[in-house]
A = this chain, B = another copy of it.
Amino acid sequence: MISKTYTKYIQSLHEKKFRDVENAFIAEGSKVVMDLLTSSKIVCEKLLATQVWMNENEQQIRKYSHVKLEVVEDFELDKISALSSPNKVLGVFKKIIEGPIQPKGNITLVLDTIQDPGNLGTIIRIADWFGISAIICSENCADRYNPKVVQSTMGSLARVELIYTNLADWLLKNNDIKIFATALNGVGLENIKGLKEAIILIGNESKGISAEILELANEKITIPKLGDAESLNAAVATGIILSHMI
C-alpha cells in the first residue's frame, strides 16, 4: 500500500514545476524502466510494480539491489500513472546529470519549439538510433521529463544529452560548424551525404524555424515532395534528414 503522501508526490511529478522542485521524474512500462535502470547516468528512487511484474522480472531486478521496491495493486497504479492505460511498473527517477556537449566533430540536432511531447520523445529515439549524442532545445520545447516524452523515447532518454537554452546565442557561439536548416526551397536532401560534423535545425511543425534562427543557417535543405501533403510530421522529417545526411 502506497502512503497518501507518496501518492501525492508521484502525482505532482506529472507536472513540470514539481519535477523541477523535486529534481525527479516518472517513467512507466517495462521497456522504458529497464533501460533507465541500466543507465549509469540515472538514479532510481523507487520502483512500484504489481506482484505479477515483480515475479516476472525478479532475476533482472535483483541486479539492482540498491533500488527500493514496492508492490502495488492495479488501482494504486491507476492513481499514480500518467498514462490512460497504466503499465505494470512505474519508476521514480532522479533527473539525469548532464555531461558537457561537444558539437565539434559531431552531428548536433537543434530543435526550435518542438512542443508536442510525442514528437520530442520520438526525436530523442531517432537521435539515439543514428548515434547522435546531443540535442539542443529552445527554452519553449516540451520538457524532456514530461511523462509522454519519457514514454515515446522508448528507453533512449538517458543515452542522448539534452540542453535547454537560447538557440541564437548557442548557434552564434558555435559558428565554426556548418548549420543546415530544413526549408521549402533548399538543396535536395539526396545531394548531402556522409556528414561527420554539422548542426541540423528542426523547426516547429506549423510555424517552421523562426526567422531569427533561420538567418543563422548556412545551407537550406529540402525533403523532395512527390505528392500533395502540405508538410511532414517533425519527427518523421528528422528521421528522413538524418538517414540521408549521416
Contacts and interface: CB of A to CB of B under 8 A. Distances in A.
B246 A244 contact: no
A229 interface: yes
A239 B228 contact: no
A236 interface: yes
Interface residues of A, number: 36
A31 B132 CA distance: 34
Interface in A199-244: 223-233, 235-240, 243-244
B128 A228 contact: yes
B243 A226 contact: no
Interface stretch (A56-64, A118-126, A138-146, A162-170): A118-126
Contact of A154 (B130, B227, B230): B230
A8 B43 CA distance: 49
A54 interface: no
A246 B230 contact: no
A228 B229 CA distance: 32
Copy number of this protein in the oligomer?
A: 2
A131 B228 CA distance: 7
Given A159-B228, A236-B236, A243 B129 contact: no
A116 to B, nearest CB: 10
Nearest to A160: B227
A226 B130 contact: yes
A159 B228 CA distance: 8
Nearest to A236: B239
A67 interface: no
B229 A125 contact: yes
Interface string A153-177: 0111001000000000000000000
A128 B227 CA distance: 5
A163 B232 CA distance: 23
A129 B159 contact: no
10 tightest Cβ-Cβ pairs between the two chains A and B: A131-B226, A131-B227, A128-B229, A129-B229, A236-B239, A240-B243, A128-B227, A156-B229, A239-B240, A122-B233
